[in-house]
Structures are given as C-alpha cells and as structure tokens.
C-alpha cells in the first residue's frame, strides 16, 4: 500500500496537548481500513474497522471520545472515503452504514459525529434493532450483508452483551470478534451464552477460511498471563492485535471451564472475567 494512503488518516489528528494520534489509520489492501483510537483520547483505545464494497461501506464501532475536538472521527472517515472513492469511482450515490460489534459506551460514543452525515445509516444499539437490521433470527444465527462484490457474514454472538455480533469478511479472511475475543480481559455477562457463542465461532472456523481474529482492544502484555491494569495509558510491550484462529479453541475451552465460576480466570493470552449473576 502506498505510503500516502497509510499516512492520510493520521496527519493532523493529534489529541490536544499530546503526541499520540487521536486516530491511527492502517490500510490493509485497497478496501479495508483498521483504525485505533489514541490512548490520549480514552484509555480503552478501541479499534474500529471500515470496509468498502462496490455499492456501500460499513464502519464497525465509533469509539469512546469524551471531547469531539480531540476525536475527529467524521473528518477521518470522510477523508478515507474520499480517498477510496477517488480511486474506485463507483457509479451513483455511495452510502455508509455505521454498525457496532456491541453497544458499550466505548464502541458507540462517536455515533453523533456521523448521525447527520449524508447517505449514512446508524444502526440502533439494542438486540432487536441489530437483529432486525441484519436479518438475524436470534443467538447463534447468521445472515449475509452485501457491500457489493463483498458479502459479509454477520453472526449473533451474545455472552459479552446480548446485542453483540461477530462478522466474517471473506475478502480478508478476518473474523471481527469485537469484545468477545481479543488479547485482553474478556468480560462475560452471561457465561452459558458466552460458551455457546465460542462453540458457534469454532464451528464457523471449521467451514470458513479464517486467517485472523481481529478484536477491539489490546490489554495483554507480551508476558504470558500479564495484562495491563484498567486505565493504563502507556503499553510499550503490548501483545499484537491479530490472533490466529487457534486462539478460539483456547478461549472456548476456558469459557466452558468458567461456567458457574464468577471471577477472574487468567490464561497466557487472555483473561476471562466472569460477571454472570453479578
């Protein structure tokens, strides 16, 4: 990918009084963009994913900004879209869908930056709205979502949150796992549903060409079993975000072992925090 495309989303996007970019932008091929909110804006530093197809684009999650002046999400999305449109030159209007891996505050707080954007649909937050929009029939169900020459597979994956979804993108082989699986603390609100979700995702990796799991945070260090405390701003030795598909089996086994056992369960590459009944 040319350097100008890699740089385009980061130039001039520093948070006030900080050298940390408010949004880091990485292009993966011509039609896939991974964004990470800066720790200077919010310690959660969530990842956002923007996918382009020939007919429309979709952005998963909008981050956790407190001050819009420190988080130019609209400007960044517009610039990325303009860059892509100039190259791809699709015919007719080009809409954007804004959806969420789940509706916790650090994944939806930027919605208002895009709510009045032309040709943009912001999907609702509750399970009914999410399932209705994507055509899901309940926990574990899946449905295609067409971007135009790029068909995503959206799966209802409760456990972390009732409205959580996971998305498989055949174009990259990425399984977008939100806060269900990532290198960090996996918070479980319903341990039975969470284990069933991991069963479903493991089943999917057996029939799809999954190349990487891409979650929404990094909280683990490179030292096995050691995570950064909540609120940490500096993470100099953090684990890598992309995870191999084999990570699912490890999380799956741990999830089943944690059913009925509230509390913190530490593993080399992740930590389960079972809040069921709490």
**Tens digit of pLDDT for each residue in 175-195?**
999 999 999 999 999 999 999
* Six token digits for residue 74: 């609209």
Nearest C-alpha neighbor of 102 from the set 136, 60, 132: 60
Distance between CA 159 and CA 171 in Å, rounded?
Answer: 27
Average pLDDT estimate for 222-246: 95
Which comes out higher in pLDDT, residue 88 or 17? 88
User: Domain limits of the chain?
Assistant: 1-125, 151-169+178-278
Banded model confidence at residue 59, pLDDT cuts 50, 70, 90: very high
Examine the pLDDT at 266 and tell me if it is beyond 70.
Answer: yes
Residue 67 Rama label (left phi>0; alpha psi -120 to 50; beta) = beta
For the chain, give the percent of residues with pLDDT over 70.
Answer: 92
β-partners of residue 143 are 154
Give 6's contacts (C-beta < 8 A, 6+ positions apart): 25, 26, 27
Examine the pLDDT at 258 and tell me if it is beyond 90.
Answer: yes
Q: In sequence order, which ranges of 180-229 are alpha helices (DSSP H)?
A: 191-207
Output the pLDDT for position 16: 33
Average pLDDT estimate for 201-225: 97
Pairing of strands 120-122, 96-99: parallel
Distance between CA 7 and CA 17 in Å, rounded?
Answer: 21
Through-space distance between the first and last CA atoms of the chain, rounded to whole angstroms: 47
pTM above 0.85, yes or no: yes
């Amino acid at each position: 990918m040319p350097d100008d495309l890699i740089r385009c989303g980061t130039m001039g996007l520093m948070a006030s009084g900080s050298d940390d970019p408010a949004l880091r932008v990485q292009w993966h091929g011509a039609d896939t963009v991974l964004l990470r909110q800066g720790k200077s804006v919010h310690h959660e530093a969530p990842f956002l994913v923007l996918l382009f197809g020939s007919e429309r684009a979709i952005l998963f999650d909008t981050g956790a900004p407190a001050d819009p002046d420190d988080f130019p999400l609209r400007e960044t999305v517009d610039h990325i879209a303009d860059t892509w449109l100039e190259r791809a030159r699709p015919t007719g209007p080009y809409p954007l869908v804004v959806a969420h891996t789940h509706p916790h505050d650090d994944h939806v707080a930027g919605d208002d930056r895009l709510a009045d954007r032309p040709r943009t649909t912001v999907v609702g937050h509750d399970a009914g709205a999410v399932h209705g929009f994507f055509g899901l029939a309940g926990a574990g169900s899946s449905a295609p979502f067409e971007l135009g020459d790029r068909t995503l597979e959206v799966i209802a994956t409760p456990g972390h949150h009732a409205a959580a979804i996971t998305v498989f993108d055949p174009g990259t082989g990425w399984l977008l796992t939100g806060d269900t699986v990532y290198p960090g603390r996996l918070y479980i609100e319903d341990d039975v549903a969470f284990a069933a979700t991991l069963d479903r995702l493991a089943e999917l990796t057996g029939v799809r060409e999954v190349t990487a799991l891409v979650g929404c945070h990094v909280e683990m260090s490179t030292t096995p079993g050691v995570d950064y405390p909540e609120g940490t701003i500096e993470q100099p030795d953090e684990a890598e975000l992309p995870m191999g598909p084999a990570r699912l089996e490890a999380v799956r086994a741990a999830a089943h072992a944690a059913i009925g056992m509230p509390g913190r369960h530490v593993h080399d590459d992740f930590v389960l925090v079972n809040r069921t009944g709490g």
